[in-house]
Structure 1
Amino acid sequence: MTQSVSGASEPATSSFAVLLQQRAFMRFWFTRLAATTGSQMLMVAVGWQMYDLTGSAWDLGLVGLYQFVPALLLTLVAGHVADRVHRARIVAGCVASQALVALILVLGTEGAWISRDWLLGLSVVLGAARAFQMPAQQALTPVLVPPALLPRAMAFASAGMQAAIIGGPALGGVIFVAGATAVYATCSVLFALGIGLILGVHYDHAPAPREPVSLGTLMAGVRFIWDRKVVLGAVSLDLFAVLLGGAVALLPIYAKDVLQVGPWGLGLLRAAPAAGALLMSVWLTRWPLERHVGRKLLGAVAVFGLATLVFGVSTSLWLSLAALAVSGAADMVSVVVRQTLVQLETPDAMRGRVSAVNSVFIGASNQLGEFESGATAALLGPVGSVVLGGVGTVLVAALWVKAFPSLAQRDHMQASAKAG
């Protein structure tokens, strides 16, 4: 079966049909759909509730920072665990932790005792859970599909995730009209569904050899990425691009003060990048990137920065939504290239540790990026913060052409692939 879908002459529709027949992968796909929808709804409600309680851009940034710090501290341990323990069980435990957070928020909001400190404390729990969930989740896909299907599986998985990111914020914004409690209760149900689905995912688990735990074994993923400059360039490019160009943390401010829309508008703004990303991921599922992947990656990051710049200066809701959608589409190119490169070049016994390091880059570009946006917004205002980030992202794309020439010149996803 693997050989039959790997040939270049095989129709794309046939390969996609085979992908849909991978039952364990599809069950995992629906798990991520439910859990990501719940997670996105949760973050919309937490962000709006925090800004409603404090009215502080700094506190919005702290929500991101408090999620990033535990993810950073636990990264090496989480990667080691993902190479030793059944990855589906790790994901189940992490989703269960998010369900517990949602239930606490239901009780706290209903009882009117939820506070800034509670929201920040629960953000730490979410960060710790995601520290273990992300490497296990990333390393799970390659063991559920044949290698020849991996690029399409990555794009299809991203399509499902982006669909959830679209539906989650939009649904969360609508439900928030009935109060934060209703949002948190819905999240609890979605997380419970995700737990039930992932517990049914089975694969031939072959844990890494039982070697003594040491700094060397924990750092193996760091060394692996450092020695492969193409992978290092791709993941670090994504880190700096989203770190500088991410405006997600400031969306509550834009919705309330700049564009003057309510929770429903915030939901649309949160969903817009995912809408563009969804369209791009569907395109990449049908027509995977095959040639000039390095140049396309760098060009996409530059487009991401320009779109962020347009969003920063916009005072029109529709122009803002369009700019965010373009930024999401460009970011999806980076996501698919980065994840495919990492997974194709990593042996399964090390995928947990390598994925853990990769998840730090992702976490830094999101949670730490939210803190950076909040901090600069406190100094320069929201518009100044976003404009500065957009310009910085374009400059990073230009610098990476010189800093990582092997990435800029990369033609195929797999270095061994031959043109034609």
Structure 2
Amino acid sequence: MVKARPTTFRSLSVRNFRLFAAGQVVSVAGTWTMVVAQDWLVLGMTGDSGTALGTVTALQFAPMLLLTLYGGRLADRYDKRTLLTLANLAAGALALTLAFLDLTGTVRLWHIWLLALGLGIVNAVEVPTRMSFVGELVGNELLPNASALSAAYFSVARVAGPALAGLLITGFGTGWAIALNAVSYLATVAGLRLMRPEENRGAGRGAAPSEARVVDGLRYTASRADLTLPMALVAVIGLFGMNFQLTLPLLAKTVFHADAASFGLLTTAFAAGSLLGAIAGTRRSGRPAARTVIGSALAFGALETAAGQAPGFLGALLLLTLTGFASIYFVQAANHRIQLGSDPRYRGRILALYTLILQGTTPLGALLVGLLAEHLGARAGLWLGGLVSLAAALAALAFEHRGKRAAGDGTDPSENDERPIRDAAPEGRGR
């Protein structure tokens, strides 16, 4: 008798997804190696300036504000595998340029700013394309599991990448850590080119190229209250609470006076918690209820606030692990509620809007939190993110409760949303 594949890893039964996941683990580990190295390089060049680090982060994410919706349009119009191949090759070229400048001792701060902007432009296309491509690889029935596993391998990479970066920076300098990232993009490209497109389980482009308009995706989302509430919650928390690329290096250097290896350990603790949160989400087989999204947002806000108050390094490691768990659980719950409630024909554009809201708010948040941290200390950045996230979750809870009362039956309108999703297109509710 053939033993059933464990529930946690059931989407790995799809060959194309296995290739995709394997390439992503290597590539994302390289990306996080570069993130740590780039942050350390900037802080070393600028005397631990939170404003300078915030500017790099803002430039890297600024294109999300301007171009992500068009990236989603491209994902709905053209072959996603080709788009992802080109995007990864471009990102590798940018990383290789920065590595060369660093290793030759010619790097300047404006070089880092310019290359961060270039990477942001690439990501504006790559992120929504990648997110919608997962559904195309595995189909709707396996999408919650595949999406959660994607978050899991991202978290594995966030554990391995910073730990490796700490060793490389200490032993060889930041340039070699960045060079490793440049090479790692080839793993994703290899996985993409080894796929068999005819084996994909989900629909490809659902609309003719001329019909895939950005405005149609916006109108569709606006007509669905069950999509706009998690979108709004993601917007606030993404703006104020998800600035760990900025707050963690500042916490390490200015509060705990840590070296590169200890900074990597803080980042690894957060990533380890994210991994556990992603694994917890792999058993989800249907669309999460609104209360699941709101509850995880409340937990995240409380834990981030507590992490900002951590009295010592060990306490910070523990609280950042718990914060990482809550952050990925919230992001995945919101992602699944939005993605599994939307028509596949609009999915690329809807996920582009989701990406815009989650990551496109980062430039504004990074600048605000960077300025705050520079004047009031690194802890203030975590406090701000946590308290604002708590307030947003409480407001969403009140809105959801008012919606139940308006329904007149005292039931949660999303109570039956935790159900298996089949490959048939979702009902056109609200269209």
Q: Does 1:410 align with 2:408?
A: no
| Equivalent-residue separation in structure 1 for 2:16 and 2:380 (angstroms) | 46
Of stretches 149-158 and 288-297 in structure 1, the one that deviates more from structure 2 is 288-297
Q: Match of 1:197?
A: 191
Pair 202,228 (structure 1): closer, same or farther in 2 beyond 3 Å: farther
Partner residue, 1:172: 165
Match for 1:347: what amino acid?
Answer: D
In structure 1, distance between residues paired with 2:195 and 2:337: 25
| CA deviation after TM superposition for structure 1 residue 345, in Å | 2.4
Q: What is the match of residue 12 of structure 2? A: 20
Residues 36 and 164, structure 1, Cα contact 8 Å, conserved in 2 = yes
Map Cα deviations across residues 377-412 of structure 1 (whole Å, 9 max, x no partner).
133322223212211111111011123456975224
Residue from 160, 185, 204 that aligns with 2:153: 160
Structure 1's 379 and 260: CA in aligned 2 closer, same or farther, altered over 3 A? closer
TM-score by length of 2: 0.87
C-alpha deviation, 1:25, in angstroms = 1.0
Who is 2:307 aligned against?
311
CA distance in 2, matches of 1:223, 1:292: 23
Q: Does 1:90 align with 2:83?
A: yes
- Deviation for aligned residue 1:179: 0.2
Change (3 A) 1:151 1:186: same
Q: Distance in 1 between matches of 2:392 and 2:341?
A: 25
Where does residue 253 of structure 1 map in the other structure?
250
1:250 shift after superposition: 2.1
Match of 1:53 among 45, 58, 61: 45
* 2:38 aligned with 1:40: no
Check 1:273–1:90 CA distance in 2 against 1; reply closer, same or farther (3 A cut).
Answer: same
1:372 aligns with 2:368: yes
Q: Is the 8 A contact 1:241 1:365 kept in 2?
A: no
Sort the Cα spacing of 1:162 and 1:211 in 2 relative to 1 into closer, same or farther, 3 A. closer
- 1:273 paired residue number: 270
Q: Deviations over 1:287-345 (max 9, x none)?
A: 32769732232121111111111221224111111111111111122222222222222
Query: CA 1:174–1:315 in structure 2 vs 1: closer, same or farther (change >3 Å)?
Result: farther
Structure 2 gaps, min length 5:
405-411, 422-431
CA shift for structure 1 position 218: 1.7
1:124 aligns with 2:117: yes
Match of 2:344 among 336, 344, 348: 348
Relative to structure 1, is the Cα distance of residues 153 and 50 closer, same or farther in structure 2, using a 3 angstrom cutoff?
same
> Aligned-pair distance for 1:208?
4.7
Shift of 1:161: 1.2
Residue identity matched to 1:92: T
Distance 1:89 1:145 in 2: 18
Per-residue CA deviations over 1:265-286 (Å, capped at 9, x if unaligned) read 111112222211111221222x
**Alignment check: 8 A CA contact 1:292 1:409 kept:** no
Residue correspondence of structure 1 range 209-224 to structure 2 within 5 A: 209-210=207-208, 212=210, 217-224=213-220
Gaps of 5+ in 1: 1-10
What SS does structure 2 have at the residue aligned with 1:144? helix
Of residues 313, 319, 325, the one that matches 1:329 is 325
Structure 2 CA distance for partners of 1:167 and 1:211, relative to 1, 3 Å: closer
Identify the residue that residue 4 of structure 1 maps to in structure 2: none
What letter corresponds to residue 100 of structure 1 in structure 2? Answer: A
Question: CA shift at 1:132, angstroms?
Answer: 0.3
How far apart in 1 are the matches of 2:294 and 2:33?
31
Q: Are the aligned partners of 1:24 and 1:202 in contact in 2 as well (CA < 8 Å)? A: yes
Q: Which amino acid aligns with 1:130?
A: N
Please give the residue correspondences for 1:56-135 in structure 2 after superposition, counting only pairs within 5 Å.
Answer: 56-135=49-128
Deviation of the 1:16 alpha carbon: 4.8
When residues 210 and 289 of structure 1 are mapped into structure 2, their CA distance, relative to the original with a 3 A threshold, is closer
Quick one: distance in 1 between partners of 2:4 and 2:67? 40
- In 2, are the aligned partners of 1:258 and 1:315 still within 8 Å (CA)? no
Q: 1:332 to 1:242 in 2, by over 3 A?
A: same
One-letter amino acid of the counterpart of residue 205, structure 2: P
Q: Which of the residues 380, 384, 388 maps onto 1:388? A: 384
RMSD: 2.4
Is the partner of 2:141 in helix, strand or coil?
helix
Q: Is contact 2:78-2:209 (8 Å) kept?
A: no
Question: What amino acid is aligned across from residue 266 of structure 2 in structure 1?
Answer: L
Q: Any conservation in 2 of the 1:88–1:201 contact (CA below 8 Å)?
A: no
Identity of aligned residues (%): 25
**Partner residue, 2:227:** 231
The residue type equivalent to 1:124 in the other structure is: L
Structure 2 residue aligned with 1:181: 175
- SS class of match (1:83): helix
1:264-303 aligned at under 5 Å gives the runs 264-285=261-282, 287-288=283-284, 293-303=289-299
Distance 1:325 1:12, change over 3 A: farther
Q: Work out the CA distance in 1 between the residues paired with 2:418 and 2:263.
A: 40
Q: Amino acid of the residue matched to residue 277 of structure 2?
A: M
Q: Pick the aligned partner of 1:140 from 133, 145, 148.
A: 133
- Using the TM superposition, name which of 163-172 and 346-355 deviates more: 346-355
Query: 1:91-139 CA distances to partner (integer Å, 9 max, x unpaired)?
Result: 1211112211111112101221111111111110110011000110011
Q: Give the letter aligned to residue 207 of structure 1.
A: R
Aligned 8 A contact 2:58 2:362 in 1: no
Tell me whether 120-129 or 395-404 shows the greater mean CA deviation.
395-404
- Decide whether aligned partners of structure 1 residues 23 and 197 sit closer, same or farther in structure 2, where only a CA change above 3 A counts: same
Deviation by residue 1:190-218 (Cα, 9 ceiling, x = unmatched): 112221112223435743544547xx922
Report the equivalent of 2:356: 360
